[in-house]
Amino acid sequence: MSNNLKKIMILIMVCALIITSFSASSFAQDPFKPKKDKEVGLIAFDVLLVRPFGITAIVAGSLIFAIACPFSLLTRETKMTYQKLIKDPVIYTFKRPVGSFD
């Protein structure tokens, strides 16, 4: 082997070792640490599909509540009916952080 080829091979090996040592630390993640950044796909799914469905659920729940109100008055369960049909969908649609499904 020529002297120049040996120098080039040593330089390539040193560069590879340096690059490998820095890149390995960037891939090391704690699996138990929660992610702070939400995935873009989850945010898009939430904004484009789940939130409009939540608005639809609010409208449908309001209509069902209007029909069920006389019956819930008889059983004195108006607050629970309101909570399940109107308030819970409003909280899920408008007060939940974007991309969070907890």
Per the CB < 8 A criterion, the answer to whether 53 and 70 are in contact is no
In angstroms, the CA 56 to CA 92 distance is 12
What residues does each domain of the chain span?
3-95
Per-residue pLDDT tens for 49-101? 999 999 999 999 999 999 999 999 999 999 999 999 999 999 999 999 888 87
Per the CB < 8 A criterion, the answer to whether 69 and 78 are in contact is yes
Per-residue pLDDT tens for 2-47? 787 777 777 777 666 666 655 555 555 555 565 556 688 888 888 9
pTM (predicted TM-score) = 0.59
CA neighbor of 89 nearest in space, from 61, 65, 69:
61
In angstroms, the CA 93 to CA 16 distance is 50
